[in-house]
Amino acid sequence: MGLRNFLQKNRSIAKTEEAPPSAAKLPAKAQNENIYVASQWQLIWWKFRRHRLAVICSVIVIFLYLVALFIEFLAPYNPEAQDQKTAYRPPTTLHFMDTEGKFHFPPFVYGVTQKRDPDTFELVFADDTSKIYPLKFFVHGAPYKLWGLFPGDLHLFGVEGSEGRFFLLGADRQGRDLFSRIIYGTRISMSVGLVGVILSFVLGIVIGGISGYYGGTIDLVIQRLIEFIRSMPTIPLWMGLSAALPPTWTPLQVYFGITIILSMIGWTGLARVVRGRFLALREEDFVMAAKISGSSEWRIIFRHMVPSFLSHIIAALTLAVPEMILSETSLSFLGLGLRYPVISWGVLLQEAQNIRSVASAPWVMYPGLAVVLAVLALNFLGDGLRDAADPYGH
């Protein structure tokens, strides 16, 4: 056994890494070499950028929140302006070509004549091609107060004067412009998601943190509580709780009441994520290394642990927003959530509860499209963020 002596019972050979030498692992290694000095956030951004759909959706989400910021300016009409004459007016067509074949930009709308069908007594609307109302950008129209503070009357687009009215998405039972109402609904619906998630996040972090920090019996009790809440059917609970909100409350109070109710159940998901990440990280070698090299508890938490789970938390938060939006919409749709005069997509959808009105004016379902758009965009964005949150994973 000369060879054995030669090796002196030492079995080792220079290895650049211990990973199994499968080809699938190779690209990751190559990449790490190229992006050697990139920060973690840079890596996350690079990985996120590759998720094409998520990038598109992030643009949509930003757009929706911008809309929510400037609803007064973007909506062509006052959402509360009622007019019996325009009740259930179908969506107005925008025309680029007039009857003589002349091209217009911006487009224009025709005047509308209405008469009753002598047989069915239904209102029939028809274009009156003799009247042309051109759409203009930056027109002065219905006065408003931006954010309830700054008075103004400038709108992104509209028809000058009060003569020609147009309804991009039709009008509701009381003749209000649905397009303007959907835009106004953006502010409430999108912000319910944010406020609700922030509330649940605070609850989740505090309770999840307590659970992770103290461990033992407290952890066990909180875990059972979370499991318990998660095993409950939420909608009956929400319904029960929101039905109990006093009818005398102001819209603002109801708004916060509803968000609090939603987050009282919504925090469990986030608490689980926080606790789970915390526990997983506590076992990581780099935390152990920091501990051994004498880092203080605070330094370990904020310098080492928080940065490595912050991205996961952000992703979890993003995924929680659409759930909140859906919950608010469902509750308001049932008439147990936000109520008139608050405008949210769910409140708008109440009009669609009656199959007769849906059948005669299907456009009252348009607020649903806004919900679907927002929920899908936020879901994809959250998905992309979650994938990117761990840039070192495969």
Q: In the complex, which residues of this chain contact other proteins (CB under 8 A)?
A: 2-4, 6-27, 29-31, 33, 224, 228, 230-237, 239-241, 243-244, 246, 326, 329-330, 333-336, 349, 352-353, 355, 358-359, 362, 365, 368, 371-372, 375-376, 379-380
Nearest distance, CB of residue 10 and other proteins, angstroms: 5
- How far is Cα 351 from Cα 367, in angstroms, rounded to an integer? 10
Lay out the sheet containing 123-146: strands in order across: 95-97, 103-116, 123-146, 150-159
In the chain, the amino acid numbered 133 is Y
Q: Are strands 123-146 and 150-159 parallel, antiparallel or unpaired?
A: antiparallel
Give the CA count within 13 Å in the CB-facing half-sphere of 223.
12
In the chain, the amino acid numbered 19 is A
Nearest distance, CB of residue 359 and other proteins, angstroms: 5
Which residues, in sequence order, are bridge partners of residue 111?
A: 128
Residue with tokens 């953006």: 186
| CB closer to other proteins out of 308 and 327 | 327
Nearest distance, CB of residue 6 and other proteins, angstroms: 6
Nearest distance, CB of residue 11 and other proteins, angstroms: 3
Q: Identify the CA nearest to 254 among candidates 263, 264, 245.
A: 245
| CB closer to other proteins out of 91 and 368 | 368
| CB closer to other proteins out of 26 and 156 | 26
Nearest distance, CB of residue 208 and other proteins, angstroms: 18
| CB closer to other proteins out of 37 and 292 | 37
| CB closer to other proteins out of 231 and 293 | 231
Nearest distance, CB of residue 346 and other proteins, angstroms: 10
Q: Is 171 helix (H, G, I), strand (E, B) or coil?
A: strand
Query: Could you give the angle at the alpha carbon of 343 between the alpha carbons of 342 and 344, nearest 5°?
Result: 115
- How far is Cα 26 from Cα 367, in angstroms, rounded to an integer? 48
| CB closer to other proteins out of 50 and 299 | 50
Nearest distance, CB of residue 52 and other proteins, angstroms: 13
Q: Is 295 helix (H, G, I), strand (E, B) or coil?
A: coil
| CB closer to other proteins out of 274 and 364 | 364
Q: What is the DSSP string of 8-45?
A: TT------S--S---GGGHHHHHHHHHTTT--HHHHHH
CB neighbour list of residue 102: distance below 8 Å, 6 or more residues apart: none
| CB closer to other proteins out of 156 and 235 | 235
Nearest distance, CB of residue 163 and other proteins, angstroms: 33
Structure tokens at 289: 């290394």
- Let me know: does 347 contact 192? Beta carbons within 8 Å: no
Nearest distance, CB of residue 186 and other proteins, angstroms: 17
| CB closer to other proteins out of 23 and 252 | 23
Nearest distance, CB of residue 250 and other proteins, angstroms: 17
- How far is Cα 138 from Cα 133, in angstroms, rounded to an integer? 15
| CB closer to other proteins out of 22 and 84 | 22
Q: Identify the CA nearest to 109 among candidates 89, 94, 90.
A: 94
- Let me know: does 222 contact 289? Beta carbons within 8 Å: no
Structure tokens at 209: 């943190």
